Amino acid sequence: MRSCRRERGRSFRLAARAAVFAIALVLALAPVAAGAGARTELWDGQRAMHGIADLLRFTPRSLDTVGHQQTIDYIKAALAKTGAVVTTQRWVYRDDAGKPHKMTNIIARFQPANPRRVIVATHYDSIVRAYRDAHHPDAPMPGANNSASGVAMLLETARVLSLLPKPPVGIDMIFFDGEEGPKSLGAGDPNWRALGSPYFAAHLHDFYPGRKPEQAVVFDMVCYRDLHLKQEPFSLAAAMPEVKKFWKIGAAIAPHAFSTQVTRYPISDDQTALSQAGIPSFLVIDFDYEPFFNTTQDTLDKCSGASLQAVGRTLLQYLYTP
Ligand SMILES: [Zn+2]
């Protein structure tokens, strides 16, 4: 009797141990599946919309303005809650007239010890005035889409990453300064050139003494309520497999927002300098933003939480899909 009871107890313990082992096995194998662990439903478009509204309080957010520094402080404060290792890259840029501009790129590193790196980037500076506005070309340019949407995209992604199991790659989020050029007029300046991303690319070794990042994805103008993301030619030339991968994930999440069409013209943005530095890089942008582009009408009501969420959830799934 005693031995029999003991045997029953033992077989029950063995069965329980087998069940625990089976559960552990399932959990251990789960991250191997493509995209597992991403929990994309946590990425919240309305939170991102609030982020854009916050940034609009600092307009203009262009070089040498109070709003520029307020934007830096805002980004750093948001990143401080995520557990990422945040550093700034500072330098002084002298323009053609010899005028100095204080520049700051902000870099947030997730899993800094992971040798596999992927860059997720945007620019945070805005243009200084609404030069394309037919009625008020000297008025401030709010820049809800260009450039607050990219910043909100990264900050909401950073928040969600802080809640989730680690993805297979270490992520470096970069908030570039000076994408709108030395006059902060973007395409309104015939001598436009991006300032922050080429500086970062020229000092790549400071951040990557060994291997370069495996790829980079750059976001700009991603909140438009009628979002149609076309594939960009420079990006296809530099990182075609990554563009295809990103768009395939996106088409499954939001078919109306991800188009297989190619943009009419190549678009130079912060992906250009990164690609030239040998990092396969691509741009996610909806450049069909008329008649609002770089006018006083680039305001929050042109954006939607649904558009931001479509792109944000695609990014999250992309980062968890090796
Ligand atoms: Zn932009």
pLDDT tens digits, 39-51: 999 999 999 999 9
Q: How many Å lie between the centroid of ligand 1 and the Cα of residue 148? A: 9
Non-local CB neighbours of 141 within 8 Å, separated by 6+ positions:
59, 60, 126, 127, 128, 129, 130, 131, 133, 294, 295, 296, 298
Q: For residues 204 and 147, what is the distance between their CA atoms, to the nearest angstrom?
A: 24
Q: How many Å lie between the centroid of ligand 1 and the Cα of residue 5? A: 73
Q: pLDDT digits over 96-129, tens only?
A: 999 999 999 999 999 999 999 999 999 999 999 9
Q: How many Å lie between the centroid of ligand 1 and the Cα of residue 187? A: 10
- Tell me, what's the pLDDT at 34? 53
Q: How many Å lie between the centroid of ligand 1 and the Cα of residue 55? A: 14
User: For the chain, what is the mean pLDDT?
Assistant: 91
Q: How many Å lie between the centroid of ligand 1 and the Cα of residue 46? A: 21
Q: How many Å lie between the centroid of ligand 1 and the Cα of residue 152? A: 13
Residue pair 208/117 in contact by the 8 Å Cβ criterion: yes
Q: How many Å lie between the centroid of ligand 1 and the Cα of residue 36? A: 32
With CA atoms as reference, report the closest residue to 234 among 259, 269, 199: 269
Dihedral sign of CA atoms 258, 260, 265, 269 in order: positive
Any idea of the CA torsion for 132, 138, 142, 145, to the nearest 10 degrees?
20
* Residue 165 pLDDT class (50, 70, 90 cuts): very high
Class of domain 42-319: alpha beta
Q: How many Å lie between the centroid of ligand 1 and the Cα of residue 179? A: 7
* Residue 35 pLDDT class (50, 70, 90 cuts): low
Q: For residues 11 and 8, what is the distance between their CA atoms, to the nearest angstrom?
A: 5
| Model confidence, pTM | 0.89
Q: Assess whether pLDDT exceeds 60 at residue 131.
A: yes
* Residue 13 pLDDT class (50, 70, 90 cuts): very low
Q: Show the tokens assigned to 104.
A: 């700051």
Q: How far is CA 154 from CA 131, 149, 301, in A?
A: 27, 9, 20
Q: For residues 17 and 23, what is the distance between their CA atoms, to the nearest angstrom?
A: 10
Q: How many Å lie between the centroid of ligand 1 and the Cα of residue 210? A: 30
Q: Is 311 exposed, middle or buried (0-12, 13-18, 19+ CB in 10 A)?
A: buried
- Average pLDDT of the residues in 150-174: 97
Angle between helix 305-319 and 233-253 (nearest 10): 100
Q: Show the tokens assigned to 115.
A: 């040798």
